[in-house]
Structure formats: C-alpha cells, structure tokens
Amino acid sequence: MTKLHLQLAGFQELHSEFISKQSSIGTYNINGLNIIALSNIYHPEPQSSTMFFLKALLEKFQHLNSKKGRLLELGCGTGVIGLSCSEYVEELYLSDIDENAVFCSQINAFLNYMYPNIYHSNLFESLPDILFDVILFNIPFLDKKIEAIAEVATNDLDGQIFLNFIKQIPKYLAPKGEVFFSYSNLGNLELFQKIPDFFLVEKIATEVDKKTGIDRSVFHMKMK
C-alpha cells in the first residue's frame, strides 16, 4: 500500500469517527466557558479545527493594547470561537447558515452570561448593513459533497463557500479591518489564486498530521 493510500485510509477512518461523534451531544469547558455542542453541530474537541483556529487567534489577540470594534464570526457553530474572543472587542456578532447552530450558540451565550448579536445567515446575506473590524471564518475546507448532516460544517464542494466568502468580504470589512480564516490541503489550494490582489495574506499558524498528511493553516488577511 502506497503512502498516499495509507494517508487516505487514515483520513477515512478519522472522518468516520468524526461523523459518529457529531451525532451525540457534547459538553466542554474551554477558556473558562461552559460549552454545549448539540448533535450534528461541530464539536470543539481538543484536536478539532475549532481549537486549532482559536489557539492561533488568542495568541494574536492577547497582545492587543486596546479592544477592536466589531467582530463577526461566520459559521459560528457552538459559538465558542467568537465567545472566547469577546473580551477583546466592543461588539460581537455570530452567524451560521444552520438554524440549529444558531440555537446552539444562543444557548452557550446564555450559559456564559454573554449577549452577542446572533444571526441565521448564509455568509453575510442576512446580516445588518454595517462594517466589521474583524471577520473570522473557520471555513469548511473538505472538497467533498455533503452526504451527512454533520458535514455541513466541514464540506465545501468545489470551494464555492470559500469563493463567495472572499468575493463578499470587501463590502463588509472596515478600513484597516482584518480577516482570519482557516484552510487545509483537503481543500482546493488553487482557489487562493482567486483572492483579489488588493489583499495581503499571511499564514500565522500551521500544523501537519504525520499519520494522515493533513496540513491545516490559519491565515490573516487585510487590504493593502
């Protein structure tokens, strides 16, 4: 069996375990927050992309001299990323295309005595017409057709979500605003060539799973 086949087999095993895990309700304590993950809402397990993304963000934000203005997290799921970053911003906005994820983030905000603005929205579609100083998106990056409810949070066939995201950002990003997003070699890396030239893109975190060969990274993006 070739190295590629071993990597694919390892990934398939992990993905099957992931789908099984998402079918149950999970409870977590993250950064002092009590978090509930409802069934089929992406669970913030220690090795999840959620925690990888959040760690990179907190390493950036903890060095701020003053709070940011408005922060928007797209595809918020449980809301744990946005809620964990709330102390660094004046206003917090969370949104998700999945109504159950919206409900889940509302529960978690309530449990932790927090009051973000939470929306059911396909990217920016149903959000107020305002500008954001920080936009976060732990992007679904698996280039695969959605075949299970849990895969709504992980799959982006042909990168359509990513392409719509980068196309719409300029309309909603404040002057000197910044964007943080995640991506992986499980997605179509050629899509990065579609990012407009007026953006500066910097990789701020990366890690490789030696067993599967999965390479995931966090990027920081701002206008030139």
Question: What local confidence, expressed as pLDDT, does residue 158 receive?
Answer: 87
Tell me the domains of the chain and their CATH numbers.
3-223 (3.40.50.150)
176 dihedral zone (left: phi>0; alpha: psi -120 to 50; beta): left
- In 3D space, the residue among 63, 85, 62 whose CA is nearest the CA of residue 73 turns out to be 85
The secondary structure of residue 57, as a DSSP letter, is H
pLDDT, averaged across the chain: 89
Is residue 3 scored above 50 in pLDDT? Answer: no
Rg (Cα) of the chain, in Å, rounded?
A: 17
Cα 84 to the center of its chain, rounded Å: 13
Pick 158 or 203 by higher pLDDT: 203
Give me the sign of the Cα torsion angle 38, 39, 40, 44. positive
Model confidence band, residue 157 (pLDDT cutoffs 50, 70, 90): confident
> Is pLDDT of 221 > 90?
yes
What residue type is 129 in one-letter code? D
Task: Dump pLDDT digits (tens) for 121-132.
Answer: 999 999 999 999
- pTM: predicted TM-score of the whole model, two decimal places: 0.91
pLDDT, residue 175, reads: 93
Question: Alpha-carbon dihedral of residues 160, 165, 166, 169, nearest 10 degrees?
Answer: 160
What would the pLDDT profile of 16-72 be if each residue is shown by its tens digit?
Answer: 677 777 888 999 999 999 999 999 999 999 988 999 999 999 999 988 889 999 999
Query: In one letter, which amino acid is 135?
Result: I
DSSP classification of residue 162: H
Q: Are 161 and 139 in contact (CB under 8 A)?
A: yes
In percent, how much of the chain has pLDDT > 70?
Answer: 92
At 4 the pLDDT is 35
Check whether 6 has a pLDDT greater than 50.
no
Question: Among 90-94, 122-126, 191-195, which stretch is predicted with the lowest mean pLDDT?
Answer: 191-195
Interatomic CA distance for residues 182 and 91, integer angstroms: 22
CB 138 within 8 A of CB 182: yes
